Amino acid sequence: DQQVKQNSPSLSVQEGRISILNCDYTNSMFDYFLWYKKYPAEGPTFLISISSIKDKNEDGRFTVFLNKSAKHLSLHIVPSQPGDSAVYFCAARDAGGTSYGKLTFGQGTILTVHP
C-alpha cells in the first residue's frame, strides 16, 4: 500500500527553466509534507516543508504547493541549475494514532538539469 507516490521516475529540464516535481498521497491523516534532495553516496537533505493547513510555502528558488482536495503536492524549482540535479523525495508525516510522527516517503524522482 503506497501511501505516497511519485509517479515520474525521472525529469529532465534545461538550465534556467522551471522544474516541477509531483507527489500524490492517499492518507488524510498526514499533517506535514516535506521534500528532500539526495545526491549519490550521501543521505537525503531536507529542502522545504508545508503544513497541511497551508497551500503554498516558498523558500528562495523552491516553492511547494499543496492541493488537499486532490491529495497532491508539487515542488517548483525556478530557475533550475545544474547543481539541482539529484534524486528528490517527497515525504509525509502521519498525525494519526499509533503511527504519529512516522514519515512515509515516495519512490523518488531523478531530476537532471542540463547546462
Partner 1 sequence: KAGVTQTPRYLIKTRGQQVTLSCSPISGHRSVSWYQQTPGQGLQFLFEYFSETQRNKGNFPGRFSGRQFSNSRSEMNVSTLELGDSALYLCASSGGGNSYEQYFGPGTRLTVT
Residues that bind partner 1 (CB under 8 A): 6, 9, 32, 34, 36, 41-46, 49, 89, 91, 93, 98-108
Find the shortest distance in angstroms from Cβ 32 to partner 1.
5
Q: In angstroms, what is the minimal distance from the CB of 49 to partner 1?
A: 7
Please name which of 89, 113, 95, 91 lies closest in space to residue 104, comparing C-alpha atoms: 91
- Per the CB < 8 A criterion, the answer to whether 10 and 112 are in contact is yes
Q: Closest CB to partner 1 among 101 and 115? A: 101
Instruction: Output the smallest distance, CB 44 to partner 1, in A.
Output: 5
Given the complex with partner 1, which of 100 and 114 has the nearer CB atom?
100
Decide whether 98 or 115 has the Cβ nearer to partner 1. Answer: 98
What is the distance between the alpha carbons of residues 114 and 16, in angstroms, rounded to a whole number?
Answer: 9
Angle at 9 between CA 62 and CA 29, to 5 degrees: 65
Residue 97 is classified by DSSP as G
Report the nearest approach of partner 1 to the CB of residue 79 (Å). Answer: 26
Nearer to partner 1, 10 or 28 (CB): 10
Dist CA 78 CA 60 (whole Å):
9
Residue type, 15: E
